[in-house]
Amino acid sequence: MGGGVMGSATAWQLASRGYAVTLLERSSAGHTEGSSHGTSRIFRLAYPDPFYVSLAARALPLWRQAEQESGRAVLTLTGAVDHGPVAAIEALHAQLERAGHVSGVLSPDQAGERWPGLRFDTSVLFHAAAGRVHADHAVLAFQEAAAAKGAVIRHRVRVAKLLRTGADRVEVVTTGDEVLTADAAVVAVGGWAPGLAAATVAGLPPLRVTQEQPLHFPAADATDWPSFIHHGGAGLTARSGRYGLAAEAGVYGLGSVDGVKVGFHGVGPVVDPDHRDRTTDLAAQAQVQEYAEHWLPGADASAPVATTCLYTITPDHDFVVDRDGPVTVLAGFSGHGFKFAPAIGELAADLVAGRAGARRFALGRTFGGAAR
Ligand SMILES: Cc1cc2nc3c(=O)[nH]c(=O)nc-3n(C[C@H](O)[C@H](O)[C@H](O)COP(=O)(O)OP(=O)(O)OC[C@H]3O[C@@H](n4cnc5c(N)ncnc54)[C@H](O)[C@@H]3O)c2cc1C
């Protein structure tokens, strides 16, 4: 259930293992109501946590495999830069080095010479095995590669109910009153998980669904830009009065065929995905423009184009990839899941096959006082 990037990657992985798979997506192909639409998402290996470094490294060959099987170009490596507080940069560098990934730290002047479109803060980490995923093409690639292996991909079919009718039996009831039975179900419904998934499995963490609003700015060489993260603190904090407190959460950006995409991370309002306001928040837009005016001299900050998208955020920003009886749930990708999608599909297929999942992504996990 759910034909965003996670459900589609899972359909591909399951079909590749010989399962009879049906993917049900309530909307049309390429729709813009959820979290997986548009032309770009950051792909990067740099995380301060070795678990995510190795998950991203696992995803890389799987992205290439999906490209090969579908015949679609999906992943473009233009590198990634991180800048901001020295401690954050050093922590990322240490994890990349430990895992044997090529990376280096530059001064702001050195980085400015190499990437004149960006202005840099404090110290700059570069790694090459990073860049962008074409989001729309990725979803299509997974669905096409799954279909080539026998999966049935059905759009405009909305699941109304999921019933557990046995230890290895589920019934899926659509809003058109069709009933499908299966040995196992995978629920990958993004921002709709608090409804459908919460009603079916035990221990789903509290999920906060927000509407985020990245902007695209024109830049002549946009498709050559590295992806970038400007971590909260240092120069960003010093200027944060200009962008609002949102800047504390950090800024992400990347080049794409639509221009240079830029957003503050996870600062949008909580919404109901079925009744959300998709109009442009002009105050939030002005803050990102202020950011671009100062930090992105290579982009035209005067001509932004806004878009909206859903984040589904867990208290610890770790994902939910776990199984309860015949139902596997993929949820809570917390604004950073896309890069891992084929590896998440692989983990989901392992769960369906009866293997244990990652404790990190477990249903029913507890969240001490401090959410990250
Ligand atoms: C602005 C923004 C920027 C991001 N940037 C990055 C980035 O740079 N790098 C990165 O790694 N990640 C990024 N992410 C996160 C990433 O895009 C998401 O983690 C990922 O797309 C989540 O995919 P999903 O399949 O879980 O959800 P979705 O894409 O929302 O898919 C869920 C699907 O389920 C369908 N559905 C819902 N209910 C039903 C039902 N009852 N029956 C049938 N179908 C149903 C929906 O229509 C939808 O298509 C970003 C997210 C946003 C919003």
Q: What is the pLDDT of residues 314-339, one digit of tens each?
A: 999 999 999 999 999 999 999 999 99
Distance CA(62)–CA(12), nearest Å, equals 11
Which atom of ligand 1 is closest in space to residue 41's alpha carbon?
8
Q: Is 310 in the pocket of ligand 1 (CB under 6 A)?
A: yes
Evaluate: CB of 158 within 6 angstroms of ligand 1: yes
Task: Establish whether residue 261 lines the binding site of ligand 1, counting it when its CB lies within 6 angstroms of any ligand atom.
Answer: no
CA of 173 to the centre of ligand 1 (A): 22
Q: How confident is the model at residue 372 (pLDDT cuts 50, 70, 90)?
A: very low
Q: How many CB atoms lie within 10 A of CB 105?
A: 17
Closest ligand 1 atom to the C-alpha of 311? 53
Residue nearest atom 38 of ligand 1, based on CA coordinates: 189
What residue type is assigned to position 178 of the chain? Answer: E
- The neighbouring-strand residues paired with 118 are none
Most ligand 1 atoms within 8 A of CB, residue of 132, 333, 347 to mutate: 333
Which atom of ligand 1 sits closest to the CA of residue 8?
25
Q: Report how far ligand 1's centroid is from the alpha carbon of 82 (Å).
A: 24
Q: Looking at the domain that runs over 1-65+132-205+316-364, which CATH code has it been given? A: 3.50.50.60
Q: Would the pLDDT of 251 be above 90?
A: yes
Q: Atom 21 of ligand 1 has which residue's CA nearest to it?
A: 36
Residue 104 CA to ligand 1 center (angstroms) comes to 32
Residue 255, ligand 1, Cβ within 6 A: no
Query: Where are the CATH 3.30.9.10 domain residues in the chain?
Result: 80-128+208-313
Residues 6+ apart with CB under 8 A from 183: 168, 169, 170, 326
In the prediction, which pLDDT does 242 show? Answer: 79
For position 237, what pLDDT does the model report? 87
Let me know if 169 is exposed, middle or buried by CB neighbors in 10 A (0-12, 13-18, 19+).
Answer: middle
Report which ligand 1 atom has the smallest distance to the Cα of 196.
Answer: 41
Ligand 1 proximity of 25 Cβ (cutoff 6 Å) = yes
Closest ligand 1 atom, residue 37 Cα: 29
Least confident range from 68-72, 73-77, 276-280, 362-366: namely 276-280
Does 95 contact ligand 1 (Cβ within 6 A)? no
CB 234 within 8 A of CB 84: yes
**CB distance 69 to 140 below 8 Å:** no
- 189 within ligand 1 shell (Cβ under 6 A): yes
Rounded-to-integer distance, Cα 143 and Cα 77, Å: 23
- Tens of pLDDT, residue by residue over 130-149, are 999 999 999 999 999 999 99
Q: Whose CA is nearest to atom 22 of ligand 1?
A: 35
To which CATH superfamily is domain 80-128+208-313 assigned? Answer: D-Amino Acid Oxidase, subunit A, domain 2 (3.30.9.10)
Phi, psi for residue 192 in degrees, rounded to 5: -90, 0
Pocket test of ligand 1: the residue of 216, 267, 338 to mutate, having most ligand atoms within 8 Å of its CB, is 338
pTM: 0.97
Q: From the CA of 190, give the closest atom in ligand 1.
A: 27
Instruction: Please give the number of the atom of ligand 1 that sits closest to the Cα of 335.
Output: 15
Q: What tokens does 3 get?
A: 């034909």
Beta strand spans in 175-235 (E): 179-182, 185-187, 208-212, 215-217, 227-230
Q: Is the CB–ligand 1 distance for residue 266 below 6 Å?
A: no
- Ligand 1: nearest atom to the Cα of 227: 8
Residue 254 near residue 42, CB atoms below 8 Å:
yes
176-230 pLDDT, tens digit each: 999 999 999 999 999 999 999 998 999 999 999 999 999 999 999 999 999 999 9
Per-residue pLDDT of 64-82, as tens digits, reads 999 999 999 999 999 999 9
Looking at this protein, which amino acid is placed at residue 339?
K
Mutate to test the pocket of ligand 1, among 1, 28, 41 (most ligand atoms within 8 A of CB): 41
Name the band, by pLDDT with cuts 50, 70 and 90, for residue 371. Answer: very low
Q: Where in the chain is the domain with CATH 3.50.50.60?
A: 1-65+132-205+316-364
Whole-number average pLDDT of the chain: 95
User: Which three-class secondary structure state does DSSP give residue 170?
Assistant: strand
